[in-house]
Amino acid sequence: MKGMTIIVKTICGWVKVLIFLFGINIILFGHLTPGGGFAGGVILASSYVLMMLAFGREFVEKNLPIPLASRLDCFGAFLFAAVAILGLVFGGTFFVNFLYQKYLPGHALHLVSAGTIPLSNIAIGLKVGASLFLAIFALSAFRKDFQRPDAGGDNKRPVAGQE
């Protein structure tokens, strides 16, 4: 897979940035407007998937941070659990919205409001973006072996992004 033509590659290079920014926007304003961590995270992942489709797998393997994505996957999930546990530490109960109720009420309908909800959105966005990117990468990285179905199971190149 060498990727597509130079026109597609150039346009994707620009569009990727726009999609990425849109994803961040969706995540940050998730508590005020439709959207949120999941939708935004999937959009973040799709900006990288676009790169993968346009430039081919080798480019992605070389230039994009695959091990970082698998770390981010774990880190995002951990961050969300940590927000919940912080509720236990500061608010006395698991999952309490301690920021909103005690420390930082913010103003309704402003970006800084709703306490831990934007934080959770960011954590979920990170986690979803990283993990879906990883999933699609793993699925397409398997492609080489996919073309010769009867090959044995032992002489294959390892899938990147794993240990």
| Three-state DSSP class for residue 125 | helix
How many residues of this chain interact with other proteins, rule: CB under 8 A? 75
**Residue 14 binds other proteins, judged by CB under 8 A:** no
Find the length of the chain.
163
Stretch that binds other proteins, among 3-11, 58-66, 76-84 (CB under 8 A): 76-84
End-to-end CA distance of the chain: 24
Nearer to other proteins, 3 or 91 (CB): 91
Footprint (CB under 8 A) of other proteins, residues 47-66: 49, 53
* Per-residue DSSP letter, 157: P
**Residue 140 binds other proteins, judged by CB under 8 A:** yes
**Residue 90 binds other proteins, judged by CB under 8 A:** no
Q: How far is the CB of 46 from other proteins (least distance, A)?
A: 6
The CB-side HSE value for 146 (13 A sphere, CA atoms) comes to 8
Given 1, 32, 64, 86, the residue binding other proteins (CB under 8 A): 32
What's the CA gap between 47 and 127, in Å, rounded? 15
Q: How far is the CB of 89 from other proteins (least distance, A)?
A: 12
What's the CA gap between 129 and 93, in Å, rounded? 29
